[in-house]
Amino acid sequence: MLFLHEFARIEAEAFLTLASEMIEEDGIVTAEEDALLAEYAASLRVPGFTYDAAAAAAARDTMAQLNEVSKRKVYMELYTFAICDGFEDPSERRALNELREALDLDAHICHKLETCARDLYGVYAEIEDVLGADPSPVRVEN
């Protein structure tokens, strides 16, 4: 996904800091998570981003200043980091709940955003499968 195209550099760096924190939350950083972070850094025009754990509190404060729609986007995008390795660790759930509270977001809305993100991930996976599928031996005539 990437619904954060309107972010200025400071907001983009804050988001990437929180994304890095989410990636490290379960104690396992996968190649897929690293690749996703690099993709977001490039899309947000923050080349060479490096994670600074000491900046996490300031990053949350920056995100808390956003308007409601932007905060929802941040939550949804960070949720995708929590599930990009194929599962949601309990420590990631705790971090998401803390983020939701820090951003003063409605739990019901966040649940709906999580459902949308999972559905979208499923569609992306299906597209990847179709793109890589072997041609069908069955010929279809129109």
Provide the pLDDT for residue 44: 94
The per-residue pLDDT for 32 is 87
With beta carbons less than 8 A apart as the criterion, state whether 84 and 55 touch.
no
Domain presence at residue 14: yes
In a domain, 138, yes or no: no
Is there a domain that residue 141 lies in? no
CATH code for position 45: 1.10.3680.10
pLDDT tens for 28-62 read 888 888 999 999 999 999 998 999 989 999 999 99
pLDDT above 70 for 1: no
Compute and round to an integer the Cα radius of gyration of the chain.
17
Tokens of 71: 């905060």
pLDDT grade for 134, boundaries at 50, 70 and 90 = confident
pLDDT, residue 6, reads 87
Query: Is residue 3 in some structural domain?
Result: no
Q: Is 54 exposed, middle or buried (0-12, 13-18, 19+ CB in 10 A)?
A: exposed
Length of the chain in residues, anyone?
142
Closest to 40 in 3D by CA, of 61, 21, 13? 13
- 55 falls within a domain: yes
Of 90, 69, 4, the C-alpha closest to 39 is: 4
**How many domains does the structure of the chain reveal?**
1
Q: Distance between alpha carbon 10 and the CA centroid of its chain, in Å?
A: 17
Residue range 57-103, pLDDT digits in tens: 999 999 999 999 999 999 999 999 998 877 788 899 999 999 999 99
List the beta strands (DSSP E) in 6-133: none
> Which pTM does this prediction carry?
0.86
How many helical (H) and strand (E) elements, i.e. helices and strands, does the chain have?
6, 0
3-state secondary structure of 141: coil
